[in-house]
Structure 1
Amino acid sequence: MLFENTQSTRLQQSDDAAVCLASMDIEHTVMRLSNVEIHQVHLSNLIEKSEFDDLYQAFGIVQADDVRQSHFSRKLDYFMGRLAARYALKKYNHAGFNVLKGAYGEPIFPEHIQGSISHVNDRQDYIAICAVQNILENQLYMGIDIELYKHQELLIHQAENIDVFLDQEEQLKIAILKLRHQDNIAIELVIFSAKESIIKAVFNKYKIITDFKSIHFQQFSVHELYFKVKKTPGDLHFFTVKVTYFQKHQQIITIACI
């Protein structure tokens, strides 16, 4: 597995945007995993709620209608995701492109470019990642997801959450895996994240919304997981998807390519 972590240059910004970035102390890094370039932005010192609309304006990022009417945490998640997309799109000469929301909440990237955005927060740290690439003939379609390692405990201690994204057969497989692996791998959280990545990749390729129960966990190994996936619950045919994952500090990031 190829993993590279480098500090990135800043976007070209207006004076107001540069002041906002400096005051917010946003860290931007570039990671490369399995030949996918992932841009991450991380905010640890939160701004005042009263300054938030000015932040969107300074960067020229358009809020979706439902985001504008949402709570502060959702607005900040959305901003961080779109800022990560700005960095990712710079390489493709689309640094000023506004990534809007589609009918199903999916990010709309420039024509001939596919991409994926994910964000996570614990009300102290706000993190977003974005990866984009050209749409080429025979190009695999991707989906990415990020989770905080600390959320593993929340996940496994609420049985109703487990039942939403794992069937009984999958839960049995995980129980056996946990007996075999004595290292501290958050298997449930990794699988949850992997399924989120697959859902995004399936939509990017087929424009179909699949669900957790149409994605069946099969195999777990170092940095890789394998799943059988149906496009829709009623589909009789499965296809196999490999998901790459890694843990960076206290984060888990997964990439699905189909």
Structure 2
Amino acid sequence: MHAISDITDWNTQSIQSLGHFNIQHEKITCFGLEIHNIQVEPLTTLAQLDDLYQHFNIFFPLNIKNAGLIRQLEFFTGRLAAKYALHDLNLQDYIIHQGHQGEPIWPDAVIGSISHVSHQRLCCAIAYAQNHNCADKTFGIDIESKKCQTLFQQNDEIYHVFLSEDEQAALANTGFKKPDLYLLVFSAKESVIKAFYIKYKQIIDFKSIRFDGIVDDFIWFRIHLGSSLKNTIVTKVHFFDTDNEIITISCI
């Protein structure tokens, strides 16, 4: 794992004041990018979660208020991770609103990405934010629970959603265990979709991102935007894992 962890909190006192919640924060440095990892547990009522939204001054949109507890927890955890990321830019008081696609609206001249995953009453989220200019590389991040490997074991049809037949054949020759590798590639493609949207404000589908090899802790892809080779972008995705999750970081 080529990530460096730092558990120093700017908001430790605030978190400790919520003694009935377990909120953990970790900073991961990877690719020169600082990613904030938040874990929240346990929550049993919507009222408890509403207290957290108010305590951390996180925007609570109506569509999320009308959702179930787990969706509300996912949204909160992602936005809290984003708040930590914005603190690095001295923008921790900025309130992140939602765009038309549900995407976070970052401050002017700032780009970022959020991803979250939940199982039972536990939710994990990662986020980054950085000052941006047009010459900078753009990153996309994704986090997935290792427990999702069971889904891939039980349902072969799911592979066809994000992999072509040629890709499945190529993956079969890598020597990796099938469920592990397929979950990893799924997460990697998710991170590429996010990075591409951040940079070009366009949504691409899974089949436009074609597996091109795996070397050490990097997966290579070709993004096909048309029939011409000139419309192909080569990109790589770094991956590593924690005890329970897989994290992927793409760079375009």
Q: What TM-score range do you get, normalising by the shorter chain?
A: over 0.9
The Cα of 1:12 is off from its aligned counterpart by 7.9
Kept in 2: contact 1:11–1:95 (CA 8 A) = no
CA deviation digits over 1:172-225, x for unaligned, max 9? 111111xx347x981101100000000000000000011111111110121100
- On the 8 A contact 2:45/2:69 being kept in 1, the answer is no
Are 1:222 and 2:220 an aligned pair?
Answer: no
Q: Which residue of 2 aligns with 1:105?
A: 102
Aligned residues between the structures:
250
Residue in 2 that maps onto 1:116: 113
Equivalent residue, structure 2, for 1:66: 63
Q: Is the 8 A contact 2:220 2:235 kept in 1?
A: yes
Alignment-derived partner of residue 160 in structure 1: 157
Q: TM-score, normalised by structure 2?
A: 0.92
Shift of 1:57: 1.6
1:209 aligns with 2:166: no
Amino acid at match of 1:9: D
Structure 1 position 33 matched with structure 2 position 30: yes
Aligned to 2:124: 127
Name the SS for the 2:173 alignment partner.
helix
Residues 152, 179 of structure 2: 8 Å contact kept: no
Given the superposition, is the C-alpha separation of residues 101 and 53 from structure 1 closer, same or farther in structure 2, using an over 3 Å criterion? same
Q: TM-score, normalised by structure 1?
A: 0.90
Deviation, structure 1 residue 167 = 0.9
The equivalent of 1:9 in structure 2 is 9
Separation of aligned partners in 2, 1:24 and 1:197? 30
Q: How big is each residue's C-alpha offset from its partner over 1:70-105, in whole Å with a ceiling of 9 and x where there is no partner?
A: 111100000000000111110101112122211112
Describe the SS at the equivalent of 1:220.
Answer: strand
The alignment partner of 2:10 has SS state of coil
> For residue 238 of structure 2, what is the aligned residue in structure 1?
244
Query: Which ranges of structure 1 fall in alignment gaps of 5 or more residues?
Result: none
SS in 2 for 1:87: helix
Unaligned runs of 5+ in 2: none
Asked if the contact 1:24–1:47 (Cα under 8 Å) also holds between the matched residues in 2, the reply is: no
Shift, 1:133, TM fit? 1.2
- Aligned CA-pair RMSD: 2.0
SS at match of 1:150: helix
The residue that corresponds to 1:19 in the other structure is: 17
Quote how far apart the aligned CAs of 1:47 are: 4.2
Deviation at 1:68, TM superposition (A): 1.5
Indicate conservation of the 8 Å contact 1:13/1:59, yes or no. Answer: no
Secondary structure in structure 1 of the residue aligned to 2:111: strand
Q: 2 CA distance for matches of 1:72 and 1:104?
A: 21
Match of 1:186 in 2: 180
- Counterpart in the other structure of 1:86: 83
